[in-house]
Amino acid sequence: MSTLRAAIFDLDGTLVATEEHNQVVWRAFLAQRGHTWDDAELSALVLGRRGIDVFRELGHVFPGEEPEALYAEILAVDERMRQPEPAAPIPGAVDLVRQLAASGVTVALVTSRWRSGAEEILQELGILQHFGLLVTAEDVARGKPHPDGWLFALERLGITADEAIAFEDSVPGVVSATAAGLRTVAVTPAPTAEVITLAQRVVADLTTVDVVSLQSFPH
């Protein structure tokens, strides 16, 4: 059994409860463009993914428009709808990150957010200083569900997949982490059948996860 050398976290929905706000932003953007999608369809399209990748798939919805311009537009909507208070951490997230860092396990991030936004959220949570590596949207050509971000993190950390554990909440995230060969903890109170099949452990939040249990995590 390999020693656990790194814990690699997704951000939205895994460390911080921002997914509901992100859904509200997408609905507002679509509404101002004259589109209405049901929650299930929207969730399946956007959760866990980079916005730019979503817009690259929506050429039929926005014919003749550049994905980069559409992404800039939704970022402006997000800024207008910015919540006055920092988003709440997922229960147990802050304690787990601090516990891992104190035990000598490298803490890293692989997120679909751009670096500035990721750093801001981690700073608000008071845990930015514990992260030894941030892999953000601009670091890879392909976002989740492709494994590129996780593979890049492993390369930068100089470790193999069996020396790390991934934490994810979304289907694209779990698919991407497991495709990179990582043992994966799915953090979701409502896991899909695909998540249950792929992840080695499924938890509603991070209050039941600790360093001891991760050190003996099955391969």
Is 12 an active-site residue? Answer: yes
| H helical segments located in the chain | 19-32, 39-46, 51-56, 67-80, 93-102, 115-125, 148-157, 171-179, 193-198, 211-215
Q: What is the DSSP code string of 122-154?
A: HHHHT-GGGEEEEE-GGG-SS-TTSSHHHHHHH
Q: How many C-beta neighbours within 10 Å does residue 94 have?
A: 17
Residues 6 or more apart in contact with residue 104 via CB below 8 angstroms: none
Cα distance between residue 56 and residue 58, in whole Å: 6
Inter-CA distances, 132 with 97, 135, 143, 155, Å: 11, 10, 21, 13
Is 10 an active-site residue? Answer: yes
Catalytic residue among 10, 53, 148, 169: 10
Q: How many C-beta neighbours within 10 Å does residue 37 have?
A: 16
**DSSP code of 86?**
P
Helix (H, G, I), strand (E, B) or coil at 201: strand
| Residues taking part in catalysis | 10, 12
